[in-house]
Amino acid sequence: MTVKSQLALVVSLLALGVSGSGMVAQKAHAAEVNNSDIHMRVGEYNIAAGADRSDTVGQAQLIKEQNLDMIGLSEVDKNTTRNPFDMVNRFGQFSGMTNTFFGKTYDYDKQGGQYGIGMASKIKLEDPTMNLYPQTPGQSEPWGYERAVVTINGVKVAFYNTHLEYEYTRRKVRDVEMAYLKDVVQKDKTPYKIIVGDFNTDDNKNEWDSWKQDFNLGNGGPDGWQDTFNVYDDTMRNYAIDNVVTSKNININHFNVIKNTTLSDHYPVVADITLKNAVDISGAVTKAKTDGAADEKAGKALNNKYNSNQAVQSAYAKAYNDAKAAATTPTNNSTQPTPAASSSSTTSSSAVSSSSSSSSAAVSSSAATSSSATPASQPSSSINQSSSSTSTSSIDEAKPVTVKQIISIQPVKSQKSHLLKPGTVLYRNAKLSKHADQVKKVGHQKWRLLKKEIIKIKGKKHVYYQLTNHQGIKVWAKRTAIKK
C-alpha cells in the first residue's frame, strides 16, 4: 500500500451503529483518512450455513483478527431448523461489526426460517436493500444482491454483496446475473463503489473479462488469481470464485486469502483498498480554499472545529492557510506579502493544535504551516542514550540517510506487538536509504519486532529495529519511536 512519504497522523474514525441488540457505541474501525485519501479493509466470506457444523462464532472470531471495516456474507440462515438463530447478527456481535443486514433469497422452511446473504460493518449501514435477480431459464434457485451506503468523513460509499448461480453447466444463467449486477452498479450515482461476493465463477476466469475495463479486481488483479474454494468438486473447473471488486477510483492495494479449512468450504478473502481523492470529493479541501481566500481580508481565524478527524482538519488547515497566503496583496510600502498573512497562518495553525491532543497537534501544526503542496517532513528526531554502546545524537530525517556502517544486526525473539509514536519516520532498509512510502498505518497499527541493529552515523551509534505488521510489510524505525 502506498502513501506520500510524509505521513500525516492517521486517526481511526468512530461510528455509532444500530444492531439487532440496539444502539451500540462502535470501537474505532480500520477506515482511515490520510491527506486526501481514505483507506479501508473489506472482505467476503461464504460461511456455509448448510454445513454439518456451522461455527458462526469461530468464523466471526477469525474475521475479527483481520480488523475489517465491512464484510459480505454468503449462505446465511436466519432462524432455520438447522441454525435456529440469526447468523448475521451473531456474526456481527462476535466479529465487532455490529451494524448488520440480512437479505432473504427464499424461505427455508415452514417454521419461518429464511436463507440468503448478509453484511456486517463497523460503520453504520444506510438504506440497506435486498434485490433478487430476474428469473432466468435454467436457474436453480433465487439469487440476489444487497446494497447499503456508508459515510466516511462525508464521503458516500456504496457497498454491494452478492451470491450468484453455481456450476459451470449453468454459466449462461450466471452470465446474465453478472451483466445485470454490472449494469446496476454502473448506474449507481454514489462516488465510490465496492462489490464483494461469492460469484461462483467456477467455469473459467474469463467470466470476469467484461468487468476488467470498468472495475478493479481483487482476485485476478495485481496479486493474481487465488483459489477460494477449498474442497474438491468435480462440477467446478475454476476454484477462484470469491472476489472483492471496486470502481476505478478505488485502488486495491492488496488482496489476500485467509486459508482456514476448518470453518467453511470457502476461504474468507480480505482486501486493503484506497479511496483516491476522497477528501477533495467530499468538499473539505475546496471549502477550505474558498474560506481561506474569502476570510483573508477579514482576518478570520481558522475554524478549528471544522472536522473531528484530525487528518482532515490538518488538510483543511493547510489548504485554508495556503489560500490566505495566496490572497495576500502587497502594501504600498513593500512588494513583499504583509506580515499579517504569516501571523494569521501561525494563529490558525495554533488553533488547530490547541484543539487536539498532543500527538495530533504536531501533525496539524506541520500541515498548517507548510507552504508547499506536500506537507513538510517531521523535524529532526533525537535518539536517546540507553546504554554505553549508544551515544546521544540527532538525525535530520527530512531526507533518507545512507548509513555507511552497520555495526551489528541481531534477531529479536519477542512476539509482543507495539504501537509507534505519531510522526514516526519509517525506512525500507537497514541502511535507512529509502522511506517506507507504502506504509499507511502508524498511529493505530501494531508492529512486531524482527531485528535490532546498531548503526553508526557521523561517528555516533544509534539503535534501530526492523518491524512487521499484520500484512507482512517490513520497515525500520528508531528505538525511541516504539511505545513501551
Q: Is the pLDDT of residue 63 over 70?
A: yes
Domains in the chain (CATH in brackets) are 11-279 (3.60.10.10), 283-369 (no CATH), 381-481 (no CATH)
The mean per-residue pLDDT over the stretch 390-407 comes to: 63
- 20 DSSP 8-state letter: T
| DSSP output for 319-336 | HHHHHHHHH----TT-SS
pLDDT at position 162: 98
Read off the pLDDT of residues 280-315 as tens digits, 9 standing for 90 and up.
777 767 777 777 777 776 767 666 556 656 666 667
Please report where in the chains the cell 495485481 appears, as a residue. 222
The mean per-residue pLDDT over the stretch 78-103 comes to: 96
pLDDT greater at residue 480 or residue 258: 258
In angstroms, the Cα distances linking 111 to 51, 81, 108, 282, 483 are: 20, 8, 8, 47, 55
> In terms of C-beta density within 10 A (0-12 exposed, 13-18 middle, 19 or more buried), how is residue 57 classed?
middle
Beta bridge partners, 399, equal none
Q: How far is 159 from 127, CA to CA, in rounded Å?
A: 11
| Contact present, 450 and 468 (Cβ < 8 Å) | yes
pLDDT at position 13: 30
pLDDT greater at residue 376 or residue 34: 34
Least confident piece of the model among 65-69, 238-242, 435-439, 474-478: 435-439
Provide, rounded to the nearest whole percent, the portion of the chain with pLDDT above 70.
Answer: 71
The mean pLDDT of the chain is 77
> In terms of C-beta density within 10 A (0-12 exposed, 13-18 middle, 19 or more buried), how is residue 429 classed?
middle
Read off the pLDDT of residues 200-234 as tens digits, 9 standing for 90 and up.
999 999 999 999 999 999 999 999 999 999 999 98
Read off the pLDDT of residues 131-146 as tens digits, 9 standing for 90 and up.
999 999 999 999 999 9
Q: How far is 454 from 479, CA to CA, in rounded Å?
A: 10
Read off the pLDDT of residues 326-376 as tens digits, 9 standing for 90 and up.
765 444 443 333 333 333 333 333 333 333 333 333 333 333 333 333 333
Q: Is the pLDDT of residue 15 over 50?
A: no
Write the CB contacts of 110 (distance below 8 Å, at least 6 apart in sequence).
Answer: none
Q: How far is 445 from 459, CA to CA, in rounded Å?
A: 33
pLDDT at position 469: 80
* pTM over 0.85, yes/no: no
Q: How far is 239 from 45, CA to CA, in rounded Å?
A: 14
pLDDT at position 8: 33
pLDDT greater at residue 40 or residue 324: 40
Beta bridge partners, 275, equal 38, 250
Among 16-20, 251-255, 395-399, 430-434, the range with the most confident prediction by mean pLDDT is 251-255
pLDDT greater at residue 236 or residue 53: 236
pLDDT greater at residue 380 or residue 112: 112
Q: Is the pLDDT of residue 93 over 70?
A: yes
Q: Is the pLDDT of residue 122 over 90?
A: yes
| Contact present, 120 and 68 (Cβ < 8 Å) | no
Q: Is the pLDDT of residue 176 over 70?
A: yes
